[in-house]
Structure 1
Amino acid sequence: MKQSTSFIMRSISNILLFSPLLLVPTYASTAAPIEIDVSTTAPRQQNQVAFVPFAGDSVLSPIILNDLSKEGLKITSQNLPQQPRSSSELAGTLPVWQNLGIPYLVIGSTRTNRGKIITDYEVIDVKSGRILEGKQTSTTNKDPDSMRRAGHVIANKIYALITGNPGDFSGRIAYIEEVGAGKNKKSLLKVIDADGENARTITEVTGSIFSPTWSPDGNRIAYSVQRDKSYPVIYVQSVSGGGATPLTPFPGSNLSPSFSPDGNKILFSSSFEGSAHIYEMSASGGQPRKLTNWPSSEVQPNYAPDGKSFVFVSDRAGFNKPQIYRYEFGSGRTTKVSSSGYATSPQFSSDGSQIAFLNGRSAAIMNSGGAVTANLGNTGIDEAPSFSPSGRNVVYASKQGGKGKLTIKSLSSGQSFDIPVQGIARSPIWSSSPK
């Protein structure tokens, strides 16, 4: 059966007690929950973290402060009683900080050594005076990109020490920006830091780019390109530069690439043998292997994080009634996952417990059993959200007043912030944070 045009286009389309003279580092995982009772005598503050800008630094501190605020921590660097750069400077005056009623204090300093920027910093549990996991050190090059990356990595570490959960802002977001229309439409594949800064164009085409996806190591992006009067072709490209390598020079609609967890293989959908089916092939090219062969259209595959299965979309239930299914590699068994009337664009969270998808015209989240756990509403663009590395946040594209934007939203608190773009934004996808 031939794949319906409308369905193809829709498929594209989070012990030692204090002595006033001594702060003692702890090296076990001793991070306390954010909501702690700091003292029976100190006033309770809404702020959770006091951040003293690092001594000798003007670049890293603003990035770290911004990231931690966007991660949902209530953080302040204003009206602080002192500007210590290390725990040794803080010893003897810690009661001043305890009286503020702020649970955590971040202090540090930067220095230059042999052309590198070295940052030493400490996260202190103010009530007990403990230094969480001891002094931390970061070393980076002096160029702006390296400094920004170091700021994000430090912010992630601080967040993890305080909350016990990994941070999200050392990952990057790839997305498509469209300008113009018809034969004059240009599509740009862009990459930005997860705070919305440092945008770079990876590639630009006259035509359309679809469904970008990151390799697990964050070094490559696979995506589909459709130029005027041609079939969509999947390309793989290094984020650091260089040309794009065509992966699927087949005479059909080649769409929705998904990297395997080890980065060695790619799933994709193609109609080069008639109806659209799911194929698997080496990430460096070669002969594809057909995995599905129903008398219907199967599109939008996405590997499970353990690599033992993948989810995909099929219209076998009827015209314009796409549903999400799971295919198990070991047995070849296929089971239906979704329970709504129209479900497309599935994407696993990093732990496999959640699936982001398009529920009718609404961006939504369901658990691995198919029960909807969050509905983000109609974003103005028929696309699903993408999970952050931790699974606590999602990013999705939307339109407001004819202008495009990316929205990052916390699934727990509902807090969100927008990243404006020049044209129409589509298909944002969050990379993993570096180890």
Structure 2
Amino acid sequence: MKLLSLKLPTSKLTTFSALNLASASLLLTPLLFAPLYSATAAPMEIDVTVVAPRQQNQVAFVPFAGDNVLSSIILNDLSRTELKVTSQGLPQQPRNSGELAGTLPVWQSLGIPYLVVGSTRSNRGQVITDYEVIDVKSGRIIQGKQSLTANNDAQSMRYAGHVIADKIYELITGTPGDFSGRIAYIEETGVGSDKISRLKVMDADGENVRVMTEVKGSIFSPAWSPDSNRIAYSIQREKSYPIIYVQNVSGGGATAVANYQGSNLSPSFSPDGSKILFSSSFEGSADIYQISANGGNLQKLVSWPSSEVQPSYAPDGQSFVFVSDKAGFNRPQIYRYEFGSGRVTKVSNSSYATSPQFSSDGSQIAFLNGSSAAIMNSGGAVTANLGNTGIDEAPSFSPNGKRVVYASRQGGKGMLTIKSLAGGSAINVPSSGTVRSPVWSASPK
């Protein structure tokens, strides 16, 4: 990512800290340690301020001065998490920490632990945003003042809002935010020979939907590259086998990378983006293969008499999970293959488990548990059951593992649901067709 500007889809931005922790603390020191008495013999006067109990995860967000775009995006992003964000009924509208002089006790009396303030200004066709996240109890600016520079156009400003929300979330929780990633999914309309399938991409808040590919036929199992600049997926046209393609999100045509005489499905990029796992039946029953992300260098990894499908790389690249029906008809299970030893072990403990996908840290696996979207730990124990979605599909993790997206069918219409696993309101994105296979990317690099 280049510095000093931001222009999608090859986004560029600048984020830096202009104040270190020491200078941030000094900025508010006069507010915190003002003398309680003078050196004269005048009677001591003590002002007792009643401080409300500290409310965990609450954030006071002051809309940025000079801004009419970013603040609403940031507020909307943060409100979809476990953070409880308010911008109403605040005692003051400061643009920066310096404007808190003399009023910090008032903010402390609210019991809200975090305060976000900021402002925007224009400079040679760009918008510079300065913002601070303040620990209200101590008056400390967490990691100092932050700045971001973006081009002054709708796409760049929308992306900048998500990036700022990512940073605010990280400063408060210690976990990187997932708002600047994107979600790819399939939308289907029509049936049979009249079916039209579209591969769509949208922002992580459900807005800014774009069509990447449209075909007469079916699209299956999109997968993001680690740098979020490419998508692999399968297309099956009438009287043809599914073929795996790779396409740049920024535009241009798709390149066929697995065009074998069988069902080529479920691509999964390696963590370094150089290889792709997939399943294919061109040699008989479905087996698991690995190829170069540009096509070629085919290698068979798992070949049992049963069908092996839906491979997915582990984040460390040392193993992958896949699905096999070797346990019996209609009893698919999830297994792990280790690259170093070739050892295969069973992971799932359910009677029916398919569609595995790792969280970014490898500690959790999203999967389809019978007819319910579910999450299990790496040992196979189910940790969350999201219920029957109506179309038998598994959820997909956000980049930080705190949220999931999954497809469902409600009231006869397709729906995408983005849900926090730690609390916060869900986002429902309706569709005019059937929605399938949503997958969440990291922030573009």
Name the TM-score, length of structure 2 as normaliser. Answer: 0.88
Alignment correspondent of 1:312: 322
Give CA-to-partner distance per residue, 1:376-398, whole Å, 9 cap, x none: 11100111100011111111000
Q: Distance in 1 between matches of 2:28 and 2:404?
A: 43
**Residue 293 of structure 1 is aligned with which of 290, 293, 303?**
303
Q: Residue 133 of structure 1 is aligned with which of 136, 143, 162?
A: 143
CA contact (8 A) 2:31 2:104 kept: no
Q: How many angstroms apart in 2 are the aligned matches of 1:142 and 1:421?
A: 31
Aligned position for 1:374: 384
Task: Name the structure 1 match of 2:396.
Answer: 386
In the other structure, the counterpart of 1:41 is: 50
Q: Establish whether residue 259 from structure 1 lines up as the match of residue 269 from structure 2.
A: yes
In the alignment, structure 1 residue 174 sits paired with structure 2 residue 184:
yes
Q: Is the Cα contact below 8 Å between 1:71 and 1:167 reproduced in 2?
A: no
- Indicate the percent of aligned positions where both proteins have the same amino acid: 76
Give the CA deviation at 1:265: 0.3
CA contact (8 A) 1:23 1:87 kept: no
> What is the match of residue 238 of structure 1?
248
Aligned residue number for residue 101 of structure 1: 111
Counterpart position of 1:21: 30
Point out the more displaced range, 83-92 or 309-318.
Answer: 83-92
What does residue 3 of structure 1 align with?
none
Deviations 1:80-101 (A, max 9, x none): 2221111122222222222222
Structure 2 residue 101 is matched with structure 1 residue 91: yes
- Is the 1:235–1:244 contact (alpha carbons within 8 Å) kept by the matching residues of 2? yes
The answer to whether the Cα contact below 8 Å between 2:81 and 2:425 also exists between their aligned partners in 1 is no
Matched, 1:218 2:222: no
Residues 1:339 and 1:371: Cα distance change in structure 2 (over 3 Å)? same
* Contact 1:20/1:92 (8 A) holds in 2: no
Given that 1:280 and 1:288 are in contact with CA atoms closer than 8 Å, whether structure 2 keeps it comes out as: yes
> What SS is found at the alignment partner of 1:147?
helix
Q: Deviations over 1:334-386 (max 9, x none)?
A: 11111111111010110111111111111111111111111111100111100
Q: How many matched pairs?
A: 407
C-alpha contact 1:18 1:128 (8 A) present in aligned 2: no
Shift of 1:182: 1.2
Residues 185 and 437, structure 2, Cα contact 8 Å, conserved in 1 = yes
Could you list the runs of 5+ residues in structure 1 that have no partner in the other structure?
Answer: 1-14, 25-38
1:278 aligns with 2:285: no
Q: Distance in 2 between matches of 1:141 and 1:380?
A: 42
SS of 1:21's equivalent in the other structure is: helix
Q: Which deviations, in whole Å up to 9, do the C-alpha atoms of 1:231-287 show, x marking residues without a partner?
A: 000000011111111111111000000000000000000011111100000001113
Q: Does 1:200 align with 2:215?
A: no
CA distance 1:350–1:19, shift in 2 (3 Å): closer
1:184 maps to: 194
Contact 2:79 2:424 in 1 (8 A): no
Among 424, 436, 442, the residue aligned to 1:432: 442
Listed as ranges, the matches of 1:326-337 within 5 Å are: 326-337=336-347
Provide the rounded CA distance (Å) in 1 between the counterparts of 2:240 and 2:298. Answer: 20
Residue 15 of structure 2 corresponds to none
Distance 1:20 1:367 in 2: 46
Shift of residue 112 of structure 1?
1.3
Q: 1:268 to 1:23 in 2, by over 3 A?
A: farther
User: Is contact 1:20–1:93 with CA below 8 Å preserved after alignment?
Assistant: no
Match of 1:31 in 2: none
The answer on whether the counterparts of 1:23 and 1:130 sit within 8 Å (CA) in structure 2 is no
Secondary structure of the 1:291 match is: strand
Aligned residue number for residue 165 of structure 2: 155
Unaligned runs of 5+ in 2: 1-21, 34-47
